[in-house]
Amino acid sequence: AVVLNPANIPEGLDDSKRLTHLQREALFLKILGSALSVSMASISAEGIDNSDILKASLEAMRRAAAGLSLPPKLALADGRDVPPGLTCEGRALIKGDQRSQSIAAASIVAKVMRDRMMCGCGGHHEHYGFEMHMGYATVRHRTAIEAHGPVARLHRASFAPFRLGCVEVAEAEESFEGID
């Protein structure tokens, strides 16, 4: 969630998917340096499994909005749904990251933080190539899953190919306890 400073909006804000890695990184720094407030939130793989991806996404949006140091009067959400439980009015905007500068800024912050988290995961779990595919399955990643199984707290048991083998995720969790 980002509250932009209307007097200092970084140039080049756009849907994070339409920007290069270098453009996102540069804008990330400009957003953090100029925004009135920025907040980030995420939901664990287990949290998504206990709910569903849409509810988890909306909950992360709600948490991010709640974490802002400057409480918003209006929260704009990318997509069709307004996160339930907001402490202010909310509006959903389809393709919001292409229509709203604050949603674009939030999408850039979210993408950069997610990519950095994936790089960190890659350092702990070298076989999977997390730092290279940033959460999108590649042949290398699928091969590593077949060879080494899922990584507890990272792979969602509710997502293929684990849907039918949730026991394997639970067993793998025991072998990864103690890793931060």
CATH code at 29? Answer: 3.30.420.10
Across the chain, mean pLDDT equals: 85
Both 37 and 85 in one domain: the answer is: yes
Confidence of residue 59 (pLDDT cuts 50, 70, 90): very high
% of the chain exceeding 70 in pLDDT: 86
pLDDT of residue 167: 36
Segments of 18-167 assigned E as strands: 37-38, 74-78, 89-93
Both 97 and 60 in one domain: the answer is: yes
pLDDT of residue 139: 78
Determine the average pLDDT of the residues in 117-131.
Answer: 81
The DSSP element (H or E) to which 133 belongs, if any, is helix 130-133
Determine the average pLDDT of the residues in 65-70.
Answer: 97
**Peptide bond preceding 161: is omega within 30 degrees of 0, i.e. cis?**
yes
**158 or 32, higher pLDDT:** 32
- Cα 32 to Cα 2: distance, rounded to the nearest angstrom: 9
Both 111 and 153 in one domain: the answer is: no
Both 150 and 67 in one domain: the answer is: no
Both 130 and 112 in one domain: the answer is: no
* Residue 75 belongs to domain spanning: 2-116
Both 137 and 96 in one domain: the answer is: no
pLDDT of residue 163: 57
